[in-house]
Amino acid sequence: MVRPVASWVTTARLAATSASSIRISTDLRAPSMSLSSFKRSALGLFGGLALALGSGALQADSRLPLVVLDSVDQQDQLSEQRARLEAATAVPELAFRAPAGRAEVSLLTMYSAQQGSWPFEPFVHNGLFRAIAGYQNQHPRAVVIQGGSISLQQLHAQLNNERILSRHEGGYLLHYPLMIDPDAALLIEGTQLHLHSYSGTALINRGLLSLRQASLIGYSDGRPHATDRPYRPFLMNWAGSRLRIEDSQLERLGYNEHLSRGVTSARSTQQAASVAPVQMLISGSRFEDMSVGLDLTQTLARVTGNHFSDMQQYALDASDSRLLIKGNRIEDVRNISAIRVSGRSQGRLEKNRIFRASKSAIELNALDGNLIVRDNQIGASAGYGLLLRDMTPATGLLIEDNLIGNSRLSAIDGAGLHQASIIGNRIIGTPEYAISIRNSEAGSGPLRLTGNHLERVGKAMIRVQGMHNLVLGANNYRANPVQQNLLIGDLLPFQAPLLDMTLRQGRLVELELEQVSLLPAEG
């Protein structure tokens, strides 16, 4: 049963006296205060509250929708949930072997009937062909690598044409689009490949592209483009391809057009469903000044130990993919979020350090899968720390042991959430809410909010609306010196007994709400 927001007003007023009695103030200038000291200060307040309420409090409690849970049993259930999510989000180890033999290299027209034009068709309207026309005098052609492996040095020698691939700044400058066929590999090791923006350069990978201790850099000589919009080189990986980037550097790639934003992966409608997803192994590398660092669709990816900086939109934008995003540093994403995961994705975001995102550090949107967000450090987001939107009822979400500091909006903000475990996080410094979950359609739950440390929060610590089942306990509230409610929304009428049971008694409590308040539906 659902009640509109306005229907809670009377109940909230009746609870106001009790709620105001348990507002907690501590001196934030004394961060060394121990949890035990904090609890002792809280106990005095709760002791006075118990005396004031007398035996009537016990009678009222018997009518509340609160159940004390067995902590050992709950810990076992949490361990089982972790194990299920660990199995569901596992990403296999990836190992790429280059095809045997020396590859053949040829120049083919980009609309060759023999080759098929589909790998290039999505780029007809994004400026690529206009840029090519400004450099090539004939029908647009591309370098095609087939039937084996070849290094960049070997490719330069075999082409033997400085208008196609020339020496440049200790490495090489590519002037033509280049495609790697499914049976071929291009190996770039210990050197630099510059991609000339003026001539319409792009890499189209259908086989294996391997960068080891190498650089892939967009290059402009200052000449105006023949395009009607800005153009920068990009790397496109079609289904069936493999991409390995190890200890390398990528700079000045991508612009804001479909499939052209940086390092991109996707499945063409011309490719059979039996073709394997793109596989990516990206480690120890640096991505700078790109529209999007990694723009992934239907991809199996391990992205570990990289540094992303100065991104225009996202450092990583993934949909319908299986991901391990671990140990990366992301800073200064200028316009949108640092990481976005959406669609039928499975994966883990672990041990990343994310600073100064213009929107949110991590955005989970329209997710229908399982995701673990664990042990990340998030700071100075201009929007939310974590933004959660429109999850399916089957989505499994564990947000655990993260540090979220100094976000301009709420540290964790959710809407359209059905179930989640938000456990053991440390949230410090936000003018809004530490955790805010509000639904326009009721979620069945459970929403587990346990073991979190919440400090220097401008508004209420936890706000929940539109969730039928919640579990709370072992949260540490460091309220600011100005009086504030700790729990609001659907929790406000039960704030006093919830805090008494979870703080003074140290219990784990389940709240089962038959009636919940909802946000107005959009549109």
Residue-wise pLDDT tens digits, 438-460:
999 999 999 999 999 999 999 99
What is the distance between the alpha carbons of residues 253 and 80, in angstroms, rounded to a whole number?
Answer: 43
**Cβ proximity of 207 and 183 under 8 Å:** yes
The confidence score (pLDDT) of residue 111 equals 66
pLDDT digits (tens, 9 = 90+) for 169-192: 999 999 999 999 999 999 999 999
Nearest alpha-carbon partner for 434 in 399, 469, 466? 399
The confidence score (pLDDT) of residue 30 equals 33
Q: Residue ranges per domain, the chain? A: 1-90+380-523, 102-277
- Which tokens sit at 437? 């979950």
Q: Which residue has the higher pLDDT, 30 or 253?
A: 253
What is the distance between the alpha carbons of residues 314 and 361, in angstroms, rounded to a whole number?
Answer: 10
Strands 307-319 and 339-343, bridge-based pairing: parallel
pLDDT digits (tens, 9 = 90+) for 295-346: 999 999 999 999 999 999 999 999 999 999 999 999 999 999 999 999 999 9
Over 80: is that where the pLDDT of 8 sits?
no
Nearest alpha-carbon partner for 452 in 390, 380, 386, 357? 386
**Cβ proximity of 205 and 241 under 8 Å:** yes
In this structure, the number of other CB atoms found within 10 A of the CB of residue 418 comes to: 21
Rounded to an integer, the average pLDDT of 226-250 is 90
Q: Which residue has the higher pLDDT, 308 or 108?
A: 308
Cross-strand bridge partners of residue 353:
329, 377
Top CATH class of 102-277 equals: mainly beta
Residue with tokens 């980009």: 110
Which amino acid appears at position 101 of this protein?
G
pLDDT digits (tens, 9 = 90+) for 32-71: 333 344 344 443 333 333 333 333 333 335 578 999 999 9
The confidence score (pLDDT) of residue 225 equals 60
What is the distance between the alpha carbons of residues 198 and 327, in angstroms, rounded to a whole number?
Answer: 36
Rounded to an integer, the average pLDDT of 230-236 is 90
What is the distance between the alpha carbons of residues 209 and 21, in angstroms, rounded to a whole number?
Answer: 65
What is the distance between the alpha carbons of residues 330 and 308, in angstroms, rounded to a whole number?
Answer: 5
pLDDT digits (tens, 9 = 90+) for 246-302: 999 999 999 998 999 999 999 999 999 999 999 999 999 999 999 999 999 999 999
The confidence score (pLDDT) of residue 229 equals 66
What is the distance between the alpha carbons of residues 378 and 194, in angstroms, rounded to a whole number?
Answer: 33
pLDDT digits (tens, 9 = 90+) for 109-120: 876 544 568 888
Over 60: is that where the pLDDT of 17 sits?
no
Over 70: is that where the pLDDT of 138 sits?
yes
Task: Indicate the average pLDDT of the chain.
Answer: 87
The confidence score (pLDDT) of residue 513 equals 96
Rounded to an integer, the average pLDDT of 334-359 is 98
Nearest alpha-carbon partner for 278 in 370, 204, 372, 176? 204
**Cβ proximity of 208 and 99 under 8 Å:** yes
What is the distance between the alpha carbons of residues 409 and 392, in angstroms, rounded to a whole number?
Answer: 24
**Cβ proximity of 447 and 468 under 8 Å:** no
Over 80: is that where the pLDDT of 207 sits?
yes
Q: Is the peptide bond before 122 cis (omega within 30 degrees of 0)?
A: no
pLDDT tier for residue 125 given thresholds of 50, 70 and 90: low
Over 80: is that where the pLDDT of 419 sits?
yes
Over 80: is that where the pLDDT of 99 sits?
yes
- Which tokens sit at 7? 């229907």
